[in-house]
Amino acid sequence: MILRIAIVLLAVASAVPSSAEELNILFLGNSFTARHDIAGLVEQILEEGDPTADVQVQRVIYGGQNMFKHSTYYFSQSFIEQSTLTEKTITQRIATMKGFLKSDTAPNPEEWKQHWAALGKTNVPFADIHKHITRAINNHEALLRDNPKTEWDYVVLQSWRDVSEQPNQGYERYATKLAEIVKAQGGEVILYMTSPETQNEAPVTEPYNVASAERDTAVGLRMAKALQPKAVIPVPLAIKNIQTGDSDKPGSDLVFRYHNDGHPNQICAFLVANLFYAAITGNRPEELAFNSVTETKLKDGKDPDGGEPTVVFDNEEKAYLQRMAYEAVLEFNLGSENES
């Protein structure tokens, strides 16, 4: 077992680009990436782990949206492809999106219905995404004016309430399409499994919505086998393990979302940042000084639950969350190895 663990971690660590080179990471997602600035936390923690590293991040974010809409209606693949994309293609995509705005019906209604049916939803209105299409048009017009031609080392594809047990549906289907584009551009994919359905707002005595955690982990393992990504960020597995507790004290007093807001809180964001570090580098995060997270959406200077925006973790809680992040990555990678 020890040898197998060492082999898994060596494989992960050896794939990290040389610290002498700039590391470019593109994040595609929604508010689960925007809140607490997950991309900025990942930049911070990777640079602390390797002080000679120069990590650059870019964010393409649409609130409440998933990879289906990112890829099909907002053409977020343009930002993946920006180093090779022609002005003609950007202009054509802008024109296509402007065409989408002329109808309250999806241009491919069967695909629209199939996507939502796989997630157990019906009658989802297409007109609701017009505002996001408008923003995507603005983003493309900005890219047309000033394209930095960045070549991405990693592209992070975020899940959000779109993980389906059905093979090749939901997140699996559309993250795979985007992953193929990333690979064609010479980059690697990071699958960020957010697990909103398992994030508890009150202490638990047993894992909260364990079926969702197990489903998301299983789909992540299936995708890891098929896509061979740089890393999978196993948030559902880490939260489930923490919520399980131990034999002496089952459950956990830790909460991972706000009471007054359905988003992850600072504890969850801290866990996520450490999961990214462990998954990308293969290293334990316990030696890092990183110990605080700040909420980015405030009301009257407070977080959604009325607390201080910045949470500084004491040494005990910091070490615990870092250890659980590392162990979840290790467990997931061993499961992925067994799937191969």
Tens digit of each residue's pLDDT (9 = 90 or more) over 163-173: 999 999 999 99
**Neighbour count for residue 71 (Cβ, 10 Å):** 21
**What percent of the chain lies above the pLDDT cut of 90?**
91
pTM of the shown model: 0.93
CATH class, domain 2-61+151-339, is alpha beta
User: Residue 340: which pLDDT band, with cuts at 50, 70 and 90?
Assistant: low
Averaged pLDDT for residues 247-273: 96
Interatomic CA distance for residues 114 and 96, integer angstroms: 22
All structural domains of the chain with their residue ranges: 2-61+151-339
Residue 65, pLDDT score? 98
CA 45, 48, 49, 53 dihedral sign is positive
Buried b (16+ CB within 10 A) or exposed e, 265-299: bbbbbbbbbbbbbbbbbbbbbeebebbebbbeeee
Mean pLDDT of 314-332: 98
pLDDT digits (tens, 9 = 90+) for 20-37: 579 999 999 999 999 999
pLDDT of residue 1: 44
